[in-house]
């Protein structure tokens, strides 16, 4: 298996292979083949040499779509996984749009498999049918008597490799509705032995990440930035950098947001950036501190919310809570969080022979930088190309509505004569201090319980900085003023809570807010699941039984959520932890998947907590690649737990206090014990796995801590709020 990540390579290999069959869809969504490739979204390309290449329209940040989408094609074409390769699709939103995002090509919201599952299977099935048809014609046989298996077409007394029929198949029309395999015939979908296609290259140093791109004669650019967001550069004195080996030039960016420092090498650029001096205009700069952000959010929680999200009769809900036998209440606070993907942000930009622009990028939302670059250089959209390469993680960071780092690269490049490609490189400090964060949020919840311990009223207020307002996503994300991403996971929870009111107040944006793995669910799941736990405790009812009482409906939302809750509890031996250990549980639906997690700890908050084990149950519909799903749960759990243990971004007078990993300590191997993942068997359509593992992890840990100690951690991170870890 070869990983062919070069678009030129892809086109070349197509040419070298002689005849080629390309199958995909037309703009109207109908299946189509070779004939007019420009009108076609290719999903699979087959050469007469028998090579089969899946064209993957989602970028790879580790979540596995290159393996996943390739699996779908291989399944329908009866191939083994080593008979197929893949290539990343070029940037073309008309052709490779995310069917769940509208006319936009991008990866996010855990949608890669959900929006590709049928498309890629249909393309694979159409290719199979066309090859069988071509073979049937050649052999004078009936196509229904032939089969394609392991790259060989056989039947009616004949047998030949599929490559022999590519030329003839390419003359045929694609079938409108090719038969898809029945799930009982799946050999690859759902097979836990299917391996990742990128493991070998990522283990021997040959995988090419954006950081590894080296274009002929390229320069490195780093950006000198102001301490405070929205300060602007007035003048630069680069004399300090003269004499630094490889230093070329330092110039203020056209938007004055920083100073581009050009050098022959990365090390030269780093040293030169430190050596120049820049005068900044701070008159419009951010000056708030995170304490002020927190105070604003806490004040908003004490006031009547701006939006009544579920149109509740708030007075009636309040009366129900006030009149209850027991009232359980808590106020929560969630700080700013950075994404900190392992590969610092970077991309390479160059001019093409025809005066266009080519960007090499681990590109999450190609459509946004594509348009931004066309505008900066005043060239037509078609003259911009984006070559997507491997991304060393993202967690949402590579998809900003402003295309922040790609725009920076383009602006830096625009300062040059464009004769040399420019590779923009960020340091870890640039990354942690860039201003793009999971916004700070607060929740205040009051739950009324009657004498038998059931909920009679739930009043819930949310306050924080909207992510979607002021972005191109506003149109579909905001309804009646409510940014759904601020409240997702509360008002739409599958829990059947009677007499509930959900209110939202937007607070002022102090930083550039950005989705962060699981978006609003990063705080809403914590609040919902800690409140359920507190209510269960107050009611004297087991936390699993207490939750199940609100999942009694027979709708899929309730049965699937209850299903994973029971499965996780059973597998974790819920309630029977060894003497010295405590368990906590949480369950949450996000991105149409249902995940329950049990965290088992030892120790106490004073002497130090150790996370011994996490047991996870996930229902994400049909499990296409079970081992990748498990890996995503493991990673999602680590991401949720690590940040909530000890990370936060804070500001002092508008200046970010954190610089590098020592101030934003990543989860370490010693922080977390064994993780066991169980996948719920399902025949439902596949749903997301990249994000849904994250939301329940921290509340399950918080609930375990409460079980061990009576300490309720309602403000995060935990280690700043009374919990030590060993």
Partner 1 sequence: MAISLKLNGKDQTVEAEPGTPLLWVIRDELKMTGTKFGCGVASCGACTVHLNGEPVRSCQTYIEDVEGAEITTIEAMSENEIGAAVQQAWIELDVVQCGYCQSGQIMSAVGLLSENPKPSAQEIDDYMWGNACRCATYQRIRAGIQRASEILEA
Contact set with partner 1 (CB under 8 A): 60-64, 195-196, 198-209, 211-212, 214, 245, 265-268, 270, 340-344, 390-395, 427-428, 627-628, 631-632, 634-639, 642, 660-662, 666-670, 672, 674-675
Which 8-state DSSP code applies to residue 196?
P
In the chain, count of helices (H) and strands (E)? Answer: 19, 32
Shortest Å distance, C-beta 668 to ligand FES: 12
Encoded tokens for 140: 């004078």
Nearer CB in complex with ligand FES: 135/220:
220
CB of 65 to ligand FES, least distance (A): 15
- Give the three-class secondary structure for 504: strand
* 195 in Cβ contact with 628 (< 8 Å): no
> 699 touches which of partner 1, ligand FES, none (CB within 5 to 8 A by kind)?
none
Q: Which of 107/471 has CB closer to partner 1?
A: 107
Instruction: Please spell the DSSP secondary structure of 95-164, one letter per residue.
Output: HH--TTTSS-----TT-HHHHHHHHHHHHHHHHHHHHHHHHHHHHT--GGG-EEETTEEEETTEEEEGGG
Q: How far is the CB of 393 from ligand FES (least distance, A)?
A: 5
Which of left, alpha, beta for 643 (phi over 0: left; psi -120 to 50: alpha)?
Answer: alpha
Please state the closest distance from residue 150 (CB atom) to ligand FES, in A: 32
Name which of 274 and 329 has its Cβ closer to partner 1: 274
Q: Taking CB within 5 to 8 Å according to partner kind, which of ligand FES, partner 1, none is near residue 666?
A: partner 1
When asked if residue 64 is in the footprint of ligand FES (CB under 6 A), the reply is: no
- CB neighbour list of residue 668: distance below 8 Å, 6 or more residues apart: none
Contact flag: residue 342 with ligand FES (CB under 6 A): yes
Minimum separation from the CB atom of position 343 to ligand FES (A) = 8
Q: Tell me how far, at minimum, the Cβ of 222 lies from ligand FES, in Å.
A: 16
Least distance to partner 1, CB of residue 25, Å: 29
642 contact choice in partner 1, ligand FES, none (CB below 5 to 8 Å, kind-dependent): partner 1
Nearest residue (beta carbon) to ligand FES: 342
Strand intervals (E) in 200-310: 219-224, 232-237, 247-252, 259-263, 277-281, 307-308
Q: CB atoms < 10 A from the CB of 594, how many?
A: 29
Taking CB within 5 to 8 Å according to partner kind, which of ligand FES, partner 1, none is near residue 204?
A: partner 1
* CB 488, min distance to ligand FES, A: 26
The site partner of 675 among partner 1, ligand FES, none (C-beta below 5 to 8 Å per kind) is partner 1
The answer to whether the peptide bond before residue 717 is cis (omega within 30 degrees of 0) is yes
Between 631 and 701, name the residue whose CB sits nearer to partner 1: 631
**Number of chain positions touching ligand FES (CB under 6 A):** 3
Euclidean distance between the first and the last CA atom of the chain, given in angstroms as a whole number: 44
Q: Nearest-CA neighbor of 322 among 501, 499, 500, 457? A: 457
Q: Is the Cβ of residue 62 or residue 106 nearer to ligand FES in the bound state?
A: 62
Q: Which is nearer to partner 1, 476 or 661 (CB)?
A: 661
* Dist CA 424 CA 17 (whole Å): 36
Angle between helices 112-139 and 65-77 (to 10 degrees): 30
Q: In whole angstroms, what is the distance from residue 718 CA to residue 332 CA?
A: 12
Which of residues 24, 42, 47, 62 is near ligand FES by CB under 6 A? 62
Chosen from partner 1, ligand FES, none, partner binding at 103 (C-beta under 5 to 8 Å by type): none
**In the complex, least distance from residue 628 CB atom to ligand FES, rounded to whole angstroms:** 13
Which one, 198 or 719, has the nearer CB to partner 1?
Answer: 198
* Residue 559, burial from CB neighbour count under 10 angstroms (0-12, 13-18, 19+): middle
**Between 87 and 198, CB nearer to partner 1:** 198
Return the number of the residue (342 or 538) whose C-beta is nearest partner 1.
Answer: 342
d(CA 390, CA 67): 13
Question: What one-character DSSP code corresponds to residue 692?
Answer: T
Residue closer to partner 1 (CB basis): 143 or 637: 637
Binders of ligand FES in range 383-422 (CB under 6 A): 393
Alpha-carbon distance 364 to 423, whole Å? 18
As measured in angstroms, the least distance from the Cβ of 74 to ligand FES is 24
Among 705, 697, 698, CA closest to 723: 705
Q: Which residues bind ligand FES (CB under 6 A)?
A: 62, 342, 393
């Amino acid at each position: 298996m070869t990983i062919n990540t070069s678009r030129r390579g892809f086109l070349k290999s197509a040419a070298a292979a002689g005849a080629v069959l390309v199958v995909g869809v037309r703009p109207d969504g109908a299946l189509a083949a070779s004939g007019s490739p420009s009108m076609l979204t290719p999903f699979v390309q087959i050469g007469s040499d028998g090579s089969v290449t899946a064209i993957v329209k989602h970028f790879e940040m580790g979540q596995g779509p290159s393996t996943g989408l390739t699996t779908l094609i291989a399944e329908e074409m009866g191939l083994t996984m080593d008979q197929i390769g893949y290539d990343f699709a070029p940037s073309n939103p008309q052709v490779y749009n995310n069917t769940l995002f509208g006319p936009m090509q991008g990866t996010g919201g855990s949608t890669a498999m959900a929006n590709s599952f049928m498309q890629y299977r249909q393309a694979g099935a159409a290719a199979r049918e066309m090859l069988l048809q071509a073979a049937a014609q050649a052999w004078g046989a009936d196509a229904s008597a032939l089969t394609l298996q392991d790259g060989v077409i056989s039947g009616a007394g004949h047998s030949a490799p599929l490559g022999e029929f590519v030329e003839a198949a390419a003359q045929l029309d694609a079938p409108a509705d090719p038969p898809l395999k029945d799930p009982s015939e799946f050999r690859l979908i759902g097979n836990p032995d299917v391996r990742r296609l990128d493991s070998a290259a990522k283990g021997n140093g040959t995988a090419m990440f954006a950081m590894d791109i080296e274009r002929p004669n390229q320069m490195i650019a780093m950006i000198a930035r102001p301490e405070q967001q929205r300060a602007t550069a007035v003048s630069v004195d680069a004399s300090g950098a003269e004499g630094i080996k490889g230093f070329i030039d330092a110039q203020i960016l056209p938007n004055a947001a920083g100073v581009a420092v050009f050098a022959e090498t990365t090390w030269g650029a780093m040293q030169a950036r430190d050596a120049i001096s820049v005068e900044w205009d701070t008159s419009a700069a951010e000056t708030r501190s995170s304490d002020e952000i927190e105070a604003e959010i806490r004040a908003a929680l004490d006031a009547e919310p701006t939006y009544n999200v579920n149109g509740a009769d708030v007075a009636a809900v309040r009366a129900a809570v006030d009149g209850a036998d027991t009232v359980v209440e808590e106020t929560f606070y969630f700080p700013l969080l950075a994404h900190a993907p392992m590969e610092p942000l970077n991309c390479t930009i160059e001019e093409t022979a025809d005066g266009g622009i080519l960007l090499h990028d681990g590109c999450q939302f190609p459509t946004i930088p594509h348009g931004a670059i066309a505008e900066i250089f005043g060239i037509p959209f078609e003259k911009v190309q984006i070559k997507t390469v491997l991304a060393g993680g993202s967690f949402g960071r590579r998809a900003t509505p402003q295309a922040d780092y790609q725009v920076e690269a383009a602006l830096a490049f625009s300062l040059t004569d464009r004769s040399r490609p420019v590779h923009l490189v960020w340091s870890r400090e640039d990354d942690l201090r860039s201003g793009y964060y999971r916004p700070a949020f607060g929740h205040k919840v009051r739950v009324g319980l009657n004498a038998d311990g059931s909920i009679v009223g739930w009043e819930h207020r949310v306050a924080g900085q909207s992510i979607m307002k002021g972005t191109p996503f506003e149109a579909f994300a905001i309804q009646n003023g409510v940014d759904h991403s601020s409240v997702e996971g509360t008002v739409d929870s599958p829990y059947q809570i009677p007499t509930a009111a959900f209110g939202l107040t937007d607070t002022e944006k102090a930083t550039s807010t950005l989705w962060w793995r699981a978006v609003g669910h990063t705080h809403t799941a914590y609040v919902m699941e800690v409140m359920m736990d507190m209510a269960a405790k107050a009611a004297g009812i087991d936390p699993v039984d207490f939750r199940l009482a609100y999942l009694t409906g027979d709708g899929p939302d309730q049965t699937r959520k209850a299903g994973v809750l029971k499965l996780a509890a059973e597998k974790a031996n819920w309630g029977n932890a060894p003497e010295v250990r405590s368990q906590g549980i949480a369950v949450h639906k996000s991105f149409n998947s249902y995940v329950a997690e049990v965290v088992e700890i030892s120790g106490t908050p004073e002497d130090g907590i150790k996370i011994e084990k996490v047991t996870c149950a996930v229902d994400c519909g049909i499990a296409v690649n079970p081992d990748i799903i498990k890996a995503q749960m493991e990673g999602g759990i680590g991401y949720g737990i690590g940040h909530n243990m000890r990370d936060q971004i804070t500001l002092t007078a508008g200046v970010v206090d954190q610089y590098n990993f020592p101030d934003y300590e990543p989860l370490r191997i010693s922080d977390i014990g064994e993780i066991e993942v169980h996948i719920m068997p399902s025949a439902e359509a596949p749903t997301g796995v990249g994000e849904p593992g994250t939301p329940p992890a921290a509340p399950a840990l918080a609930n375990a801590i409460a079980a061990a100690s009576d300490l309720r951690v309602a403000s995060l991170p935990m280690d700043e709020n009374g919990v030590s870890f060993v």
